[in-house]
Amino acid sequence: MRRYMILGSVLACMIGAAAISAQTPGQPAAASGGVTKALLARVIAAWTTMDVSKAAVFYAKDPGLVYFDIAPRKYANWAEYEKGAVDMFKTVKSMTMKVNDDAQIHNAGNMAWATATVDGEMVNKDGTKMKIDARWSTVWEKRGANWIIVHDHFSMPLPEPAPPAKK
């Protein structure tokens, strides 16, 4: 009898693992119950279209939610963030970004937080280029069947100092 209980437990674990691995990429599944690296990649991909409405679907619009970006430093709500992004994209010709392999996601019930570095390049309409070497932190909340960002912090570190001149 005990052997059948152990076999049943092993089979249940195998079936559960197969169900989780079969989920559609980028879609949080009920079995995993959380934010995924594929979902992070979808958010960054939406931003690279420079169509703010595509990124907006991932963000909560509640009053008082704060979002941080490169410039300006702080947006007091989604409406400010959206306007700031639309204004910035008026001067941008193209943008590429990707979430790096160092992404970490911490799911806890109906909340999650994630950190990652993001690399890419922005090409302005005047032809100047800017390397994107950023860090990205997000706080997510599950509302209904959807995970949405309730706090976003996107920033770029200061450039590394030049090595000292050799004498």
DSSP string for the chain: -HHHHHHHHHHHHHHHHHHHHTSPTTS--TTT-S--HHHHHHHHHHHHTT-HHHHHTTB---TT--EE-SSSSEESSHHHHHHHHHHHHTTEEEEEEEE-TT-EEEEETTEEEEEEEEEEEEEETTS-EEEEEEEEEEEEEEETTEEEEEEEEEE-PPPPPPPPPP-
Read off the pTM: 0.76
Report the pLDDT value the prediction gives residue 71, as an integer from 0 to 100: 80
Report the pLDDT value the prediction gives residue 27, as an integer from 0 to 100: 38
Q: Which residues of the chain have pLDDT under 70?
A: 1-32
Report the pLDDT value the prediction gives residue 160, as an integer from 0 to 100: 79
Q: Which class for 28: exposed (0-12), middle (13-18), buried (19 or more C-beta within 10 A)? A: buried
Q: Across the strands, what pairs with 11? A: none
Query: 34-155 — its CATH code?
Result: 3.10.450.50
Report the pLDDT value the prediction gives residue 23, as an integer from 0 to 100: 35
Residue identified by tokens 């790096």 is 100
The answer to whether the bond into 72 is cis (omega within 30° of 0) is yes
Report the pLDDT value the prediction gives residue 163, as an integer from 0 to 100: 85
Tell which residue, 62, 26, 68, 43, has the closest CA to residue 154: 68
Q: Model confidence over 49-98: pLDDT tens digits?
A: 999 999 999 999 999 999 999 888 899 999 999 999 999 999 999 999 99
Report the pLDDT value the prediction gives residue 73, as an integer from 0 to 100: 86
Report the pLDDT value the prediction gives residue 72, as an integer from 0 to 100: 84
